[in-house]
């Protein structure tokens, strides 16, 4: 059986955008994130984080801190009654031209190798236009949230690049509610 998935950006989508999380004290969940994820999980979606984390490649902090931040995020969500199914991380420097750094679809392709995901019924949610480009590059619906960098990205980057999100939501909860309605129409 194939599952629909929600691919989620991390910083600015699930937790506050603070630049680089170079200390775990800087990781704070955004409001209504746990409720949004519960809605999606209860509807049968796999929840998969896909995130560019170039801080270690830039020499800003050790690689293990990225995974400690993911574990802390998972712990905080678990306390609120929901968990992420998996995390896929690109640790490369942007100039390395790897295949996994968004907007390339490499992280999603890694997830497809590991899980029986139905891409046609899947979505990607993020606060940057590169998240929407990633969705478009692999043929899924991309939703821009106005948390994190979202407002500025919608106002300045989207028109410059000519990129239109499938939907724009004020936050993850509104995105989840939209997805459930949209997905129900597709069934």
**What percent of the chain is modeled with pLDDT above 90?**
97
Query: What's the pLDDT score for residue 187?
Result: 62
Note the residue count of the chain.
187
pLDDT surpassing 70 at residue 144: yes
Q: b/e map of 131-144 (b: 16 or more CB within 10 Å)? A: bbbbbbbbebbbbb
Cis amide leading into 100 (omega within 30): no
pLDDT digits (tens, 9 = 90+) for 38-58: 999 999 999 999 999 999 999
Q: Tell me the three-class secondary structure of 103-152, residue by residue.
A: CCCHHHHHHHHHCCECHHHCEEEECCHHHHHHHHHHCCEEEEECCCCHHH
Question: Is 131 among the residues known to form the active site?
Answer: no
Kindly indicate whether the domain formed by 5-186 is annotated with CATH number 3.40.50.1000.
yes
Any idea where the domains of the chain sit in the sequence? 5-186
Decide if 182 is catalytic: no
CB 171, CB 146: distance < 8 Å: yes
Whole-angstrom distance, CA of residue 169 vs CA of residue 178 = 8
- Confidence (pLDDT) at 101: 98
The whole-number pLDDT of residue 185 equals 87
| pLDDT at residue 117 in the model | 98
DSSP-derived pairing of the beta strands 123-126 and 5-8: parallel
* Residue owning tokens 């969500």: 77
Tell me the longest C-alpha to C-alpha distance in the chain: 47
Q: Residue 151: what pLDDT?
A: 98
Estimate the crossing angle of helix 63-79 against helix 33-42, to 10 degrees: 80
Tell me the H-state helices in the chain: 33-42, 63-79, 106-114, 129-138, 150-152, 158-161, 172-186
pLDDT tens-digit series, residues 89-124: 999 999 999 999 999 999 999 999 999 999 999 999
Which has more confidence, 186 or 52? 52
Q: Residues 9, 127, 131, 171: which is the catalytic one?
A: 9
Residue 186 has pLDDT above 80, yes or no: no
pTM attached to this predicted model: 0.97
Q: Average pLDDT for residues 175-181, to the nearest whole number?
A: 99
76 pLDDT higher than 80:
yes
Of the residues 11, 127, 131, 171, only one is catalytic, namely 11
pLDDT confidence tier of residue 149, bands split at 50, 70 and 90: very high
């Amino acid at each position: 059986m194939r599952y629909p998935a929600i691919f989620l950006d991390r910083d600015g989508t699930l937790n506050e955008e603070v630049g680089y999380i170079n200390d775990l004290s800087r990781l704070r969940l955004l409001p209504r994130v746990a409720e949004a994820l519960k809605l999606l999980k209860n509807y049968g979606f796999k929840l998969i984080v896909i995130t560019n984390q170039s801080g270690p490649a830039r020499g800003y902090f050790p690689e293990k801190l990225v995974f400690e931040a993911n574990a802390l995020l998972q712990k905080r969500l678990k306390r609120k009654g929901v968990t992420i199914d998996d995390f896929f991380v690109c640790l490369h420097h942007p100039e390395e031209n790897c295949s996994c750094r968004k907007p390339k679809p490499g992280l999603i392709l890694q997830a497809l190798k590991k899980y029986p995901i139905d891409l046609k019924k899947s979505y990607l949610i993020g606060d940057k236009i590169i998240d929407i480009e990633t969705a478009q590059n692999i043929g899924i619906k991309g939703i821009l949230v106005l948390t994190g960098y979202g407002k500025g990205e919608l106002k300045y980057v989207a028109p410059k690049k000519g990129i239109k999100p499938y939907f724009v939501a004020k936050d993850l909860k509104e995105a989840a509610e939209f997805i459930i309605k949209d997905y129900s129409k597709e069934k």
